Amino acid sequence: MPAPSHPLTLADRAIRELDRALRTVAGANEASRPYPANGLPDSTGDAADRGHAAALMRVNHAGEVAAQALYHGQALTARDPELRGALLAAARDETDHLAWCEQRVRELGSRTSLLSPLWYAGSYTIGALAGLAGDRHSLGFVAETERQVVEHLESHLRDLPSDDVRSRRIVEQMQSDEARHGREAHEAGGRTLPTLIRGLMRETARLMTRTAYRW
């Protein structure tokens, strides 16, 4: 007979969240879906172009570290169990993105952001606070976050070296997933966030992008 299940204690939850954080920051994540760039040539040969592409993919990796933290922070404080499950399902897609970006950064001969622990801690706190604001506000936060991420990824598609088909294929798949997450959050009843909050989110993302590009 299967062992009886017991509700998680506060200590159990804390250990689980710490394990998730450590796995994310340490790069101990495996994608559940195939690598989008499989079978494509790595034709970016110019050293400057490879360095630029690596920096852009490092920014995307940092964004996926933040996405993991946001979703798990929101799931922690979500009131509706169905919403909590949807947030965790979206986080699993982000785990794929995280693994893909890290693989591509390594292929380009570079490293991920040195500030990953900071990205995770700050984003987890923001996610938990968004969840505490209520489920519809939390869904609105997801919808707005993903809308801005889709725009950000579109800018990377314009900025990546034209011959870097491997990075482009990864970014395109990420963009498709993020658009779906945002659409689902909106359709589930997400509230439109105030203009001030949307602006703060955009400025925070810009600061993170500029910093992760270098560090």
Summarised one tens digit per residue, pLDDT across range 62-82 is 999 999 999 999 999 999 999
* Domain spans in the chain, listed from the N-terminal domain onward: 62-214
Q: Amino acid letter at 41? A: P
Summarised one tens digit per residue, pLDDT across range 116-161 is 999 999 999 999 999 999 999 999 999 999 999 999 999 999 999 9
Reported pTM:
0.89
pLDDT of residue 1: 43
Is residue 215 scored above 70 in pLDDT? Answer: yes
pLDDT band at 93 (very low <50, low <70, confident <90, very high): confident
CATH topology assigned to domain 62-214: Ferritin (1.20.1260)
| Low-confidence winner among 15-29, 30-44, 102-116, 171-185 (lowest mean pLDDT) | 15-29
**Long-range contacts at 23-26 (CB < 8 A, ≥ 24 apart):** 24/65, 24/68, 24/69, 24/98, 24/116, 24/120, 25/65, 25/116, 25/117, 25/120
Whole-number Å distance between alpha carbons of 129 and 124: 9
In degrees and rounded to multiples of 5, residue 45 shows phi and psi of -100, -30
